[in-house]
Amino acid sequence: MNFAGHTHQKQHSKMVRAVLRNMADQLELPYQEIHRRFTRGDDYAIALRFWDLFYQHYPVHQALNDVSYCAGCRSFTLEIL
């Protein structure tokens, strides 16, 4: 996706959203609530659960340890810090 001169990996957004949907199901909360709490970035429990589930779902991507959200594109990007 390209917005305002930058790009995002579409697969990253799919991966992050799949984990967030799984979290919503597990916690019995609406996906939108989990998404809001995760993208706001101030809920440590949600962030910790996200990474635990992410590594369970995608063990080959253990090196990834940072996720950012672009509100303009509504996309996630995974990175290694």
Say what angle helices 10-27 and 31-40 make with each other, to 10 degrees. 120
In this prediction, residue 65 has a pLDDT band, given cuts at 50, 70 and 90, of very high
Tokens of 68: 């950012």
Tell me: the pLDDT tens digits for 6-43? 666 899 999 999 999 999 999 999 999 999 999 999 99
Residue-level pLDDT at 2: 44
Residue-level pLDDT at 69: 94
Whether the Cβ atoms of residue 16 and residue 78 lie closer than 8 Å to each other: yes
Q: How far apart are CA 11 and CA 23, in angstroms?
A: 19
Listed in sequence order, the DSSP H helices in the chain are 10-27, 31-40, 44-57
